[in-house]
Structure 1
Amino acid sequence: MSSFAEAWIEHDYNPFIVFDNTGKIISLNQEAQYLLGEVNHKKIFDIAQTYASMTYGFKTTIVDISFSSYKFYAITVGYDDETSIGIKLYKSATKKFANVEEYGESVNIYALLDLCISASSTNANIKFKKEFDPTFPDVRLKVEDFMKLLTKVYQSHINSPVITTRLALITGEYIRFNTKKYPIFSISIKGENRDRNYEKSIEEIGIKSNCTIHFEQDETLIHAALVS
């Protein structure tokens, strides 16, 4: 393979992994490294085996696959002998931010989350867990709308015995606005027994807060631009 082709794969937006026949990784691109930060590589190997062609060659399958913040709409699996197998996963297009509005209060995101968790825990027999990236700067947000959004999300999980809140930067993803590039951060609020009746109101408040919202079975994901 030429160095140009190798560089192209390395910088592909979609994860690409080659395994040996035991499931050990032989090679992978940059995007696959990010993916494997959220999912065990054995799960990807199992998917490659499941969707591989019955004979040597390549097979593309349209299939919905999700791993935490990653969503895929198709995969290609290929092999030409019994020693190795490759898989490429095609990322679904994420909902786009309408804009980035550079105004609002500069707030400590940890304090904001702690405040909403404290309010939500009042008179509720729930164990709240926090998994926070400790390196976040202060963030400019529409504080009132953002607090309404967090409160509504916690309300939707209020019947869960445990609610886990995770704050993290989405590695390698940015939004461009007026020639500037902004990182994207994610707040995951996860707890079983999520009430889906809240989804419409959460999405409406999300629009006012300039956030995108993703719903999983037991998880609500909030994505926003990190404007500091």
Structure 2
Amino acid sequence: MQFLEKWIEHDYNPFIIFDANGKVKSLNQEAQYLLGEVSTKEIFDIAGAYAAITYGFKTTILDLEFGSYRFYGITVGYESEEEIGVKLYKYATQKFSTIAEYGEPVNIYTLLDLCISATSTGQNTQFKKEFDPTFPDLRLQIDGFTKLLNKTYASFQHAPKITTKLSLKTGEHIRFKEKKYPIFTILVEGEGRDRRFELDAQAIAKTINCIVHFKEEQIIITSPLISA
């Protein structure tokens, strides 16, 4: 692999080259992760929509979102009808500053169930759970993490239905002091999210080295998975 190819392979932004039929000819590492959350056809269709009218390269500033990915721009280039390339530009995201291997061992399913049970008391809200069943016991700062979950569920206190999804981020990890840690997410979703809890949730997340991301009807908590 030449230096330029290595540079593209390790680029922070996803890069894909398609043939004329929308089949992927080459892609970098970041694009592989992206295609785990969005279909190849959807990216190919977007490339066609933002390509220049004649051969060449065109960069467009826009707002795109696919799963946990958000982009602020796209460059599309082609010099023949045989292939077309696309590069998407990611918004900068929060990063984990440290990894704290202290904390108390806890069963994440039990912790979530306790927070859901506390939230559901006196409410008619329907709760749905979609949990990856393979999680080991984790080390968490339980008090802070429980407060963050409670703020999260309080944000959806008027929603008729709240869905909680627990999963690992496929292909992603954080390296700290020569160790690699998987990353897991807790996604809570419901209608009519109350934004008044955002600042409190962000403040709590910082104290326990989590990242919390807010969408219109979702709150996503991301954290390193440290086995107990």
1:97 maps to what in 2? 96
Distance 1:111 1:208, change over 3 A: same
Give the equivalent residue in structure 1 for 2:53: 54
Question: One-letter code of the match for 2:189?
Answer: K
Q: Which runs of 5+ in 2 are unaligned?
A: none
Q: Residue 75 of structure 1: SS of its match in structure 2? A: strand
TM-score calculated relative to the size of structure 2: 0.89
Q: For the structure 1 residues 98 and 5, does the alpha-carbon distance in structure 2 shift closer, same or farther, using more than 3 Å as the test?
A: closer
Q: TM-score, with normalisation over the residues of structure 1? A: 0.89
Structure 1 segments, 4+ long, off by >6 Å, are: none
Q: Choose 28-37 or 192-201, whichever is displaced more.
A: 28-37
Question: How many Å apart are 1:3 and its aligned residue?
Answer: 6.0
What's the counterpart of residue 133 of structure 1? 132
Q: Which secondary structure does the structure 2 equivalent of 1:130 belong to?
A: strand
1:117 aligns with 2:133: no
Corresponding residue for residue 38 of structure 1: 37
Deviation at 1:6, TM superposition (A): 4.8
Number of the residue aligned with 1:169: 168
Alignment of 1:1-228 (within 5 A): 5-6=4-5, 8-228=7-227
Percent identity between the two aligned chains: 61
When structure 1 is superposed on structure 2, of 196-205 and 78-87 the one drifting more is: 78-87
Distance 2:91 2:13 in 1: 10
Structure-1 separation of matches of 2:99 and 2:169: 17
Q: 1:16 offset after TM fit, Å?
A: 2.2
Shift of 1:203: 0.7
Unaligned runs of 5+ in 1: none
SS at match of 1:146: helix
Q: Quote how far apart the aligned CAs of 1:178 are.
A: 3.1
Deviations 1:140-173 (A, max 9, x none): 1110110110011011012222222111222333
Number of residue pairs matched? 227
